């Protein structure tokens, strides 16, 4: 019996061992390596934001009928500095950051502290209370911008990380899962389409990054549901696609450009596709196109309107001047009406 030469087995053995090591490196069950990579990639693009606001401090008796004349004769109200904190995400090497509107609203000075220790005063390029977003600009070189992810591809159960500046502790990372997508009707802003997560989000995290395990930005952390003031496992983030669209509009036009038909609707019934028109704006696009109160809208550009949220979001995302095809039920008659979308008036 002829035995193989041991020398001929060396290279196949080495190759097999190397292949096995490569497979082990990428096998599930080693999430720590994924998290470290994600944080190292995304953390340099997440900044701490400190705001200062000058407020007028008046004595509690200044409006009392017995004392108000005394306070009028004895000078003006004292000024006091009010400070708050939040987070922001560098989304462009040119120095643009995304944060929340409520983080910078009313601020007289905005200081941005970067992950590498540098700091700069920021200017407000634009803000939008309807989505609770704001765009800041800093003038520093060698900035690291975050990699953008696709929130439409995330699924409930995906692992996510939240990066921000909770309670002013400094940059902090928390881990959780995607608990839900498309959350709306919470009364937090005019246009809601939140990613819900149980990653710990606390005061100061607002404006920070929600990332996937590849370090890609999925959303801007915005709000929490809490009765104590701290995290209770329900955090909400604005999806990246909405945030970037709003940012682009604020930079280019100074305001968000949103589509508008001039209709008010309400769902036909729970779990039923369709919304009924309850009011029409005078001379609005819908009225001009011939829509009527009582019409039941069922489709917009071939997509079902559901309970109205999906359909109204589609209209909002349509650029003013573009046309949409509306499928509706009027009595027992099915109709299709094409109309041009106008720009949504200021709310």
Question: What is the rounded CA–CA span in Å between residue 91 and residue 135?
Answer: 10
Catalytic residue chosen out of the listed positions 84, 127, 189, 206: 206
Tell me if residue 323 is catalytic. Answer: no
Copy the structure tokens of residue 115.
Answer: 């992950």
Catalytic residue chosen out of the listed positions 128, 132, 212, 307: 132
Handedness of CA 323, 324, 325, 327 (dihedral sign): negative
CA trace torsion 204, 208, 210, 213 (10° rounding): -100
Copy the structure tokens of residue 22.
Answer: 């490569």
Question: What is the rounded CA–CA span in Å between residue 209 and residue 242?
Answer: 14
Question: What is the rounded CA–CA span in Å between residue 193 and residue 215?
Answer: 22
Question: What is the rounded CA–CA span in Å between residue 299 and residue 314?
Answer: 11
Strand partners, 111: 50, 121
Upper half-sphere CA count for residue 175 (Cβ side, 13 Å):
11
Copy the structure tokens of residue 271.
Answer: 């779990």
Catalytic residue chosen out of the listed positions 84, 87, 102, 189: 102
Copy the structure tokens of residue 1.
Answer: 């019996």
Tell me if residue 132 is catalytic. Answer: yes
- Give catalytic residue positions: 102, 132, 206
């Amino acid at each position: 019996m002829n035995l193989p030469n041991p020398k001929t087995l060396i290279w196949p053995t080495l190759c097999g061992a190397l292949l096995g090591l490569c497979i082990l490196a990428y096998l599930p069950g080693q999430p720590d390596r994924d998290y470290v990579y994600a944080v190292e990639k995304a953390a340099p693009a997440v900044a701490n934001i400190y705001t200062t606001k000058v407020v007028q401090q008046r004595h509690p008796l200044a409006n009392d009928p017995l004392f108000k004349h005394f306070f009028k004769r004895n000078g003006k109200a004292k000024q006091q500095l009010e400070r708050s904190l939040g987070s922001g995400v560098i989304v462009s090497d040119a120095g643009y950051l995304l944060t929340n509107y409520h983080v910078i609203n009313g601020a007289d000075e905005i200081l941005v502290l970067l992950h590498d220790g540098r700091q700069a005063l920021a200017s407000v390029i634009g803000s939008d209370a309807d989505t609770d977003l704001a765009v800041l600009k800093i003038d520093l070189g060698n900035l690291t911008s975050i990699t953008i992810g696709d929130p439409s591809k995330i699924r409930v159960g995906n692992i996510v990380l939240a990066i921000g500046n909770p309670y002013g502790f400094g940059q902090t990372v928390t881990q959780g899962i995607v608990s839900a997508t498309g959350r709306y009707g919470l009364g937090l802003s005019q246009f809601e389409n939140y990613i819900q997560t149980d990653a710990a989000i606390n005061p100061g995290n607002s404006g920070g990054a929600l990332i996937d395990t590849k370090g890609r930005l999925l959303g801007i952390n915005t709000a929490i549901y809490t009765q104590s003031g701290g995290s209770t496992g329900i955090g909400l983030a604005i999806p990246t696609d909405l945030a970037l669209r709003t940012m682009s509009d604020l930079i280019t036009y100074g305001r968000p450009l949103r589509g508008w038909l001039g209709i008010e609707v309400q769902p036909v019934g729970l779990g039923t596709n369709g919304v009924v028109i309850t009011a029409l704006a005078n001379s609005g696009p819908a009225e001009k196109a011939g829509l009527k109160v009582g019409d039941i809208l069922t489709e917009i550009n071939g997509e079902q309107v559901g309970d109205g949220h999906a359909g109204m979001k589609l209209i909002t995302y349509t650029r003013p001047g573009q046309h949409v095809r509306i499928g509706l039920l009027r009595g027992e008659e099915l109709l299709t009406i094409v109309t041009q979308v106008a720009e949504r008036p200021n709310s």
